Structure 1
Amino acid sequence: MKEGESWMKKTAESCMLVATLIATVVFAAAFTVPGSVKQDTGAPNLIRNASFTIFAISDTISLVSSSCSILTFLSILTSRYAEDDFLWSLPLKLLLGLFTLFISIVAMMAVFCTTLFIVFKEGTIVPAVMAVAFAPFPLIMFIIQQNRLILVVVQLISLSNSLFHKTQKGKQLKKQKQL
């Protein structure tokens, strides 16, 4: 249990750091609006532009999902690490944290790509197209690198589930025999 606790805390700390960096970047992006703002009202100049709408929605999704990821990993760090927590609570929190972190990365890449489309809309569109072409690579790398971790956690959940049900059935049989 001590080794599991140490591993879980290190994993949660690392993932929480990444989620915090993403939240910081997309929060800053929300206030440095591409296409600038109108001096008199402060409204974005490109508010009716489809690319700007995609930018705003993607930025919001990235900020919300990275914040959820931070809170999920924080709940792992502040867990009591009892035996029961290792059966369901901690593995499910880890999966939820990794899933929301992945969503935040996807949305962050969408923010980046739409910003390039906004910036380069008047000139050459080649940089924006290149960004869209290469944007999936960090996502693919995340999936490949975290694939084993996700599989191990899912296997542990199913294993603990089967062990827990066998233990519960055994306890129920003992109680029935005693009656």
Structure 2
Amino acid sequence: MDTETQKIIREPRPAKQTYSFRVLFIAAEMGNTSFLIELIRQYPDLIWKVNDDKQSIFHIAVKHRHEGIYNLLYEIGAMKDLITPLKDPNDNNMLHLVGKIAKQKRLNDVSGVALQMQRELLWFQEVREMIPPSYRERVNKDGLTPHELFTMEHKELVSQGEKWMKGTASQCMVVAALIATIVFAAAFTVPGGYDQNNGVPLFHSKATFMVFVVADAISLFASSASILIFLSILTSRYAESDFLDSLPKKLISGLLTLFLSIITMTVAFGVSFFILYNKGLLWIPVLICVFAVFPVLLYIWLQYGLFFDVIRSTYISRYIFKPKKQVLYYKNPNV
């Protein structure tokens, strides 16, 4: 760091900024982004200040996983290369700080241990791209690079994430196997039976019968695909990097194919009653179809939280580090 920057950071504080400087790091630790922005707008030089551990507000934001404050780095331009390399007394730079596991309160903001590990990986990947390349492999006083520190700190989280992912995959795999068994048997016990002379299904010419056949086949293929996907989750190597993309995307695919198999199984079940009771007793298949919708809605209600959390964590969370608009420095429309 050049001497001019060091002078700016360590220069004595004006009396009117004493209170601002004291609350600056408290606001950063608590994640009070709006208050911090207003404070910096009044006293722009506060952005250069460091605490007793030689950490800026951005280091504290990274340490406590406050993305709103961290994203202010995108607004200060090239000056960020003078702030991100700052080291604490233990030679920990910003990447070392994100290598340390977040506090449990911040981890609990994401449901599911595997998704918590994914969020930690997203933070590490983001900060790694932010700091100068020459600082990515620097060692601290313990002789650890940021990635070595990350691996050591997150070893238990990886283990718990593996158990959570395997437990979820195992339970879903059992359901998929049951559906595959049912629809496979249904394919050879079609409604109405077969013609004893030529073996052709009696209702093969009906449109509803074709719907039954197609729905049953899709259910069988979807449930079989779901089994294979969940099996791949169970046999995964569970490396750190797998929690970032591979495992969450497999879980999404498995849940989607399982949902498809349930829907098509229900369709095949309901249509079979239209084939058998299409004359005079139409109210029976209609009533059956109404009740058949219940398990589909129940699956959506029970699995919606998990599915949405995986989608949000895998695809939407990547954009928390890309601010859509400037909030620190803005143009006054009246000027």
TM interval, shorter chain, is: 0.7 to 0.9
Higher helix share: 1
Change (3 A) 1:50 1:89: same
Aligned to 1:10: 167
Equivalent-residue separation in structure 2 for 1:154 and 1:37 (angstroms): 45
Aligned to 1:149: 306
The reply to whether residue 119 of structure 1 matches residue 283 of structure 2 is no
Match of residue 47, structure 1, among 204, 211, 222? 204
- 1:107-143 residue CA offsets vs partner (Å, 9 max, x unmatched): 0000110111112123412220001222222111111
TM-score (ref. length: structure 1): 0.87
The reply to whether residue 61 of structure 1 matches residue 187 of structure 2 is no
- 1:140-160 residue CA offsets vs partner (Å, 9 max, x unmatched): 111111111012212321377
Question: Identity rate of aligned residues, in percent?
Answer: 50
Equivalent-residue separation in structure 2 for 1:91 and 1:161 (angstroms): 14
Q: RMSD value over aligned CA atoms? A: 1.8
Aligned to 1:38: 195
- 1:14-33 residue CA offsets vs partner (Å, 9 max, x unmatched): 00000000000000000001
Q: Which secondary structure does the structure 1 equivalent of 2:236 belong to?
A: coil
Q: Larger Rg: 1 or 2?
A: 2
Using CA pairs under 8 Å that are at least 6 residues apart, name the structure with larger relative contact order, 1 or 2.
1
Equivalent-residue separation in structure 1 for 2:316 and 2:163 (angstroms): 21
Q: What letter matches 2:263 in structure 1?
A: V
TM-score (ref. length: structure 2): 0.47
Match of residue 83, structure 1, among 218, 230, 240? 240
Q: Which secondary structure does the structure 1 equivalent of 2:187 belong to?
A: helix
The reply to whether residue 103 of structure 1 matches residue 260 of structure 2 is yes
Q: What letter matches 1:71 in structure 2?
A: L
The equivalences for 1:125-136 within 5 A come to 125-136=282-293
Change (3 A) 1:115 1:90: same
Change (3 A) 1:5 1:122: same
The reply to whether residue 71 of structure 1 matches residue 224 of structure 2 is no
TM-superposed CA distance for 1:161, in Å, is: 4.1
Q: Structure 2: which 5+ runs fail to align?
A: 1-157, 323-335
Match of residue 139, structure 1, among 276, 292, 296? 296
Change (3 A) 1:21 1:104: same
- 1:1-43 residue CA offsets vs partner (Å, 9 max, x unmatched): 1111001001100000000000000000000011111112111
Equivalent-residue separation in structure 2 for 1:43 and 1:159 (angstroms): 51
Which moved further from structure 2: 35-44 or 59-68?
35-44
Equivalent-residue separation in structure 1 for 2:309 and 2:159 (angstroms): 18
Q: Which secondary structure does the structure 2 equivalent of 1:154 belong to?
A: helix
Q: What letter matches 1:48 in structure 2?
A: S
Matched-pair contact (CA < 8 Å) for 1:33–1:44: yes
Q: What is the number of equivalent residue pairs in this alignment? A: 165
Equivalent-residue separation in structure 2 for 1:159 and 1:77 (angstroms): 26
Q: Structure 1: which 5+ runs fail to align?
A: 167-179
